[in-house]
């Protein structure tokens, strides 16, 4: 049976609203143009060639990936300027070298002097491999990884990567993880502080006779709220194309901008508990609870009309087991159970789009109605 409408899908299924997606892509492309910075979209959210093509049409020439498997998938589709912006595990050197040898313009990353030493050693151990390019991560906010700005390790790590014939030093990057959960003004201040740290680091590198063509900076809120990004060679953002309830909660988008949702069947109505049972649980929605404890807490997801994608009252998925979700109203108000039939469909908007989408191998593409416009592939996992 060919899939033509939502009713032809087996639930749970991942839906992607093309109109919302395109608007999100255009909005961020316009924002980057306004800042005068190149936008390097992160493909860890969509993990899809079809989405990357829309981003290319909006002006993107390079992309970020979060796994080597993504790099392999996008390279196979002819998308070649890829920044694998997670600290590099030396045991992945042969796979990375195979991509470069095959023509992929791949930049890798390490976040420490130790890491640079391990990267050089791994690259030098490969027979007949092309040089591997590495950026160095600068820790601007203590959020995750990176060498602290101002550390003498930076020049030493960059020097090692520059001097080895097996590696190249591409430049520096940072991730503004601390920009999440900030007000726009706070995020703008933080971004400016990060920008200055990166500019100072670049100046030190150039002064030491080292190259530093890449100055890569990111996070969706940082780029949305930045006052200027002078001296930044590229802005990295990922979640903006799909958005989610967390992003809506912190003001980075509206609920009606969220492009990805999970289509579910109603399995049961439980008047005695004032709730519905749906066939999307922890595996179909993820156990992400990034909205927990916030004023915009949506439990495991916001329940919407299947066809229109509009929220239904204040219904949320309150509880999940592996394959089942329980739906109640957030306020505790009585649920109009007669509006739902066993076997009927609803959509659920996710807390965190990346985590939810990872459970699916494809998107059913919709356009504000029950019609399925297309099926787009995704790549998941880490195996070669």
Residues found near its own copies in the complex (CB under 8 A): 7, 10-13, 44, 66-68, 86-92, 95, 110-112, 114-115, 117-118, 122, 142, 144-145, 148, 177, 265, 267-270, 272-273, 277, 279, 282-284, 286-289, 319, 321-324, 326, 341-343, 354-355, 358-362, 381-384
Q: Which of 379, 362, 364, 383 is nearest to 77 (CA)?
A: 379
Least distance (Å) between residue 343 CB and its own copies: 4
* Closest distance of CB 287 from its own copies, Å: 5
Nearer to its own copies, 58 or 278 (CB): 278
Q: How far is the CB of 182 from its own copies (least distance, A)?
A: 17
How far apart are CB 139 and its own copies at their closest, in Å? 8
Question: Are the CB atoms for 371 and 59 separated by under 8 Å?
Answer: no
Q: Are 180 and 211 in contact (CB under 8 A)?
A: no
The residue (of 14 and 259) whose beta carbon lies closer to its own copies is: 14
Nearer to its own copies, 200 or 337 (CB): 337
- The CB-of-91 to its own copies minimum distance in angstroms stands at 6
Within 10 angstroms of residue 146's Cβ, the number of other Cβ atoms is: 24
Could you give the CA distance from residue 218 to residue 370 in angstroms, rounded to a whole number?
A: 36
Q: Are residues 326 and 275 in contact, defined by beta-carbon separation less than 8 angstroms?
A: yes
Provide the residue count of the chain. 384
Minimum distance, C-beta of residue 384 to its own copies, in the bound complex (Å): 6
Q: Which is nearer to its own copies, 111 or 257 (CB)?
A: 111
Pick between residue 15 and residue 29 the one whose CB is nearest to its own copies. 15
Record the tokens describing residue 150, joined without a space.
């101002």
Nearest to its own copies of 133, 356 (CB atom) = 356
Q: Strands 214-218 and 167-175, how do they pair?
A: parallel
The nearest distance, CB 180 to its own copies, in angstroms, is 11
Distance of closest approach, residue 69 Cβ to its own copies, in angstroms: 9
Q: 104, 75 in Cβ contact below 8 A? A: yes
Q: Among residues 10 and 331, whose Cβ is nearest to its own copies?
A: 10
Q: Rounded to 5 degrees, what are φ and ψ at 7?
A: -70, -15
Closest approach, Cβ 220 to its own copies, in A, equals: 13
Instruction: Return the number of the residue (67 or 191) whose C-beta is nearest its own copies.
Output: 67
Give 50 or 286: the residue with its C-beta nearer to its own copies. 286
Distance CA 232, CA 197 (A): 11
Which pair of structure tokens corresponds to residue 74? Answer: 């996008």
């Amino acid at each position: 049976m060919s899939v033509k409408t939502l009713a032809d899908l087996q639930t749970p299924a991942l839906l992607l609203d093309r109109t919302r997606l395109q608007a999100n892509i255009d909005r961020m492309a316009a924002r980057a143009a306004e800042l005068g910075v190149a936008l390097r979209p992160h493909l860890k959210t969509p993990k899809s060639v079809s989405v990357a093509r829309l981003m290319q049409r909006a002006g993107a020439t390079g992309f970020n990936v979060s796994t080597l498997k993504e790099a392999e998938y996008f390279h196979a589709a002819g998308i070649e300027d890829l920044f694998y912006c997670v600290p590099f595990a030396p045991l992945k050197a042969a796979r990375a070298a195979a991509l470069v040898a095959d023509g992929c313009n791949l930049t890798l990353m390490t976040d420490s002097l130790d890491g640079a030493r391990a990267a050089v050693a791994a690259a030098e151990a490969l027979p007949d491999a092309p040089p591997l390019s590495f950026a160095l991560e600068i820790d601007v906010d203590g959020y995750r990884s990176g060498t602290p700005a101002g550390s003498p390790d930076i020049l030493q790590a960059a020097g090692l990567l520059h001097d080895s014939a097996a590696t190249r030093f591409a430049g520096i990057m940072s991730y503004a993880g601390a920009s999440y959960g900030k007000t726009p003004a706070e995020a703008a201040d933080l971004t400016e502080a990060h920008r200055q740290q990166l500019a100072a680091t670049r100046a030190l590198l150039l002064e030491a006779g080292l190259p530093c063509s890449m100055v890569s900076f990111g996070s969706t809120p940082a780029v949305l709220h930045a006052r200027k990004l002078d001296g930044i060679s590229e802005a990295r953002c990922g979640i903006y194309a799909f958005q989610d309830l967390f992003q809506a909660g912190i003001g980075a988008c509206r609920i009606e901008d969220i492009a990805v949702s999970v289509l579910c069947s109603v399995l049961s109505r439980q008047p005695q508990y004032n709730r519905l049972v749906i066939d999307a649980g922890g595996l179909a929605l993820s156990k992400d609870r990034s909205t927990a404890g916030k004023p915009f807490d949506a439990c495991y997801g916001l329940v919407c009309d299947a066809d229109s994608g509009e929220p239904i009252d204040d219904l949320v998925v309150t509880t999940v087991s592996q394959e089942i979700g329980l739906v109640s109203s957030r306020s505790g108000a009585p649920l109009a159970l007669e509006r739902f039939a066993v076997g009927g469909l609803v959509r659920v908007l996710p807390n965190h789009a990346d985590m939810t989408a990872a459970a699916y191998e494809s998107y059913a593409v919709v356009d504000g109605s029950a019609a399925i416009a297309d099926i787009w592939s995704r790549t998941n996992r880490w195996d070669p």
